Amino acid sequence: MDPSSPPLLESETISIRRLRPADLEPVVALDARITGRRREEYFKVKLVQAIAEVGMEISLAAERDRCFAGYLIARVYYGEFGSMESVAMLDSFGVHPDFQGQGIGHELVRQLRTNLLGLGVNKLSTEASWDAPRMLAFLQREGFRPAARLCLDLDLPEARRREDTVA
């Protein structure tokens, strides 16, 4: 999409559009405000991937009254982890604290759902920290439910320590 093209969604004060290269600093700054740390390299890679997906409007920015108010970054996977169907993964998501509770997150997710259905993708997945009750509540309101699969983590230093004590 051309950076000068109209937004995908526009209401009285919220507009949703595709993320652009110029959004790197606003995304990094917003994420840092939310998380307390700057992840510039992470977002450089994510934005390059998002912009390279020509024709896929699945990484979005929200503006409210011409201010950068939020973003989401998603990807489509074709047959990952043994699945036979395409699935989208919501990788990163943030709404500026000054705009939370004003429908920005909902509008971002709603536009993403619309765009994914247009691409023939019927499932959207994400992960959230168990210790983030506001995010979990938001995701539940948007219709997310626990997945019918088990996510597993391996603490590599701990596994190494166990291995060393057995040997």
Would you state the pLDDT for residue 4?
43
pLDDT(164) > 80? yes
Would you state the pLDDT for residue 12?
58
CATH T-level topology, domain 9-166: Aminopeptidase (3.40.630)
What digits encode the pLDDT tens for the residues 77-123?
A: 887 666 678 889 999 999 999 999 999 999 999 999 999 999 999 99
d(CA 154, CA 91): 20
Give the percent of the chain with pLDDT over 90.
67
- The token duo for 35 is 């998380």
d(CA 167, CA 155): 19
Helices (H), the chain: 24-35, 40-52, 104-118, 133-141, 156-166
pTM (2 d.p.):
0.82
What digits encode the pLDDT tens for the residues 131-157?
A: 999 999 999 999 999 988 888 889 999
Residues 6+ apart with CB under 8 A from 2: none
- Assess contact for 14 and 104: CB atoms under 8 A: yes
